[in-house]
Amino acid sequence: MATVILGAGIIGTSTAYYLCQSSDTLPFDIHLVESSTELFASASGYAAGFIARDWFSPASSALGALSFDLHRELAEKDNGFEKWGYSRSTATSLAETVDDGEEDWLGQGATRAKAAKRIADNDESTPVWLDPKNGRPEVISRGETTAQV
């Protein structure tokens, strides 16, 4: 029996994947239909491969945790670390400080390479190109709960 899945984002492709794993569905009976003429034009594309386990409202927290865990399990099972670049990640937030009149390196056209020469706050996990003069870097999640695919 043919199955038509509307939307080829993460939900549609995940649905197709799990249907293919079923002995009741033949892979050539699964049809993905995507309305967009561009790749990565909707929610899944705008997420840029970022996934989090615990960044959800209470109403969707169980689904978010399940989704994160399934991504990790698939990466471990199918060597996703090499095949599609799954990697655990650290999320950093930069809380802006009030403008103190110092030079805005980004606004002045400085390169990221020049900015990377600066020494960030004493937190080793803070990227060195995040200038603590322009805000307060804070690690908000480590690899146990955030990843990139």
pLDDT at residue 3 above 80?
A: yes
- Helices (H) and strands (E) counted in the chain, each on its own, are 5, 7
pLDDT at residue 29 above 90?
A: yes
CA–CA distance, 130 with 149 (Å, rounded to integer): 23
Residue 95 identity (one-letter amino acid):
A
Q: What is the mean pLDDT of the chain?
A: 77
pLDDT at 43: 72
Pair of tokens at residue 149: 């695919």
**What's the pTM value of the predicted model, to 2 decimals?**
0.60
Q: What tens digit of pLDDT does each residue of 100-130 get?
A: 555 554 555 555 444 444 444 445 656 666 6
In eight-state DSSP terms, residue 18 is H
